[in-house]
Amino acid sequence: MKHDCIFCRIIRGEIPSRKVYEDDDILAFHDINPATPVHFLIIPKVHVENLYDADMGHQAVLGKILGMAGELARQQGLDDGFRTVINTGRVGRQEVYHLHLHVLGGPDPLNLGLKGA
């Protein structure tokens, strides 16, 4: 099913992005408004709104997202750790309703702030 959400449009190439990694199941790209020196998102290609909507049918793709995070972080120069965040719903301050894992890092350990944190 074709979705008009902004991340589905990025997956389809209708909106440009700075790609980090892509395969049949997931896409990783740099956040347009980075909160830290390195800030990219890893998303499933299938449209899932958030962790509320995810179920065991998404186990493989969610596992892949976590399983790739370390390798992609290293490729982006994060060799001293990084922070991962998944925002869900209003209380989670989710802005884009297509599930995504934030990978945040950079050389300045004090600059790992998140919105409102």
Please give the residue ranges that form the binding site for ligand 5GP (CB under 6 A): 6, 15, 17, 29-33, 87, 93-96
Q: Does 47 bind Zn ion (CB under 5 A)?
A: yes
CB 46, CB 58: distance < 8 Å? yes
Is 74 or 93 the residue whose CB approaches ligand 5GP more closely? 93
Q: Name the active-site residue from 39, 47, 98, 100.
A: 100
Residue 98: name its binding partner from Zn ion, ligand 5GP, none (Cβ under 5 to 8 Å by kind).
Zn ion
Judged by CB under 5 A, which of 28, 94, 98, 103 binds Zn ion? 98
Decide whether 12 or 74 has the Cβ nearer to Zn ion: 12
Per DSSP, the residues of the chain read ----SHHHHHHTTSS---EEEE-SSEEEEE-SS-SSSEEEEEEESS---STTT--GGGHHHHHHHHHHHHHHHHHTT--S--EEE---TTTTT--SSS--EEEEE-S-TT----TT-
Q: Is the dihedral of CA 48, 52, 57, 61 positive or negative?
A: positive
Site size with Zn ion, rule: CB under 5 A: 6
Binding partner of 17, given Zn ion, ligand 5GP, none, CB within 5-8 angstroms per partner class: ligand 5GP
Q: Please report whether residue 8 would count as binding Zn ion according to CB under 5 A.
A: yes
Nearer to ligand 5GP, 79 or 116 (CB): 116
